[in-house]
Amino acid sequence: MSEPAPQVPTDLAAYATVAECEAYALRVADVTAWTAASADAKGRALLQASDEIDACRFMGWPYGDYVARYEGTQKRAFPRVSPDDPALWPRGKQMASGQIWDLDPVTHLVIVPLRVKMACFYQAMEILRDPIRRDRLRDRDQGVTAQSAGRGVSENYDPARAIHHVCMEARLQLAPFLLKSGRLC
């Protein structure tokens, strides 16, 4: 008797949809990896990209958690908020006083910022473009500083350089939201 297939959680959506990214792709020079992928592969890459974005350290607090009094209800890191009143911050948390980071100009509903959606698109393209990039990141994370495959093929990693789990283009889009300094509790 075979075991039932594990259930994949469906409550986590990607920051950007395939349809949105198709529109973004019209503005980007090299989208070969994106256009060559199937719709299913694009969707999976967008989910993985969203997970990788969520692993970054951001300023503020997830908006849904703020509204729910920090109950951990929001599944993704965005949308985010930085409450003006320090009394509303969770115990031990320090934030820059501020604002909800993105509101729809027509409905005034809280939305995921366009820059985060663009970062998701760029990260998904990187995932589709370089299938062994996770292996390289994993090696570096485990302290590997050089690899060789014989016959003069080798890679060297600078141990002093930070390991970035999102690509350069995604980091540029996420820059306004990234934690610059401070302490995470």
Task: Tell me which residue has tokens 């690509």.
Answer: 167
In a domain, 58, yes or no: yes
Question: How many domains are there within the chain?
Answer: 1
The neighbouring-strand residues paired with 147 are 155
Determine contact, residues 10/35, Cβ cutoff 8 Å.
no
Residue range(s) defining the domain that contains residue 169: 18-177
- The segment with the largest mean pLDDT, out of 77-81, 125-129, 160-164, is 125-129
Pairing of strands 154-156, 146-148: antiparallel
Confidence of residue 163 (pLDDT cuts 50, 70, 90): low
In a domain, 2, yes or no: no
User: CA–CA separation, 129 vs 143, rounded Å?
Assistant: 24
In a domain, 167, yes or no: yes
In a domain, 5, yes or no: no
Residues 6+ apart with CB under 8 A from 61: 70, 80, 81, 82, 83, 89, 90, 93, 95
In a domain, 122, yes or no: yes
Nearest to 29 by CA among 122, 115, 120, 116: 122
- 85-141, pLDDT tens digit by residue? 555 554 544 444 445 667 777 877 778 899 999 999 999 999 999 877 766 666 666
Q: Look up the pTM and report it.
A: 0.73
C-alpha distances (whole Å) from 106 to each of 101, 113, 117 are 15, 14, 19
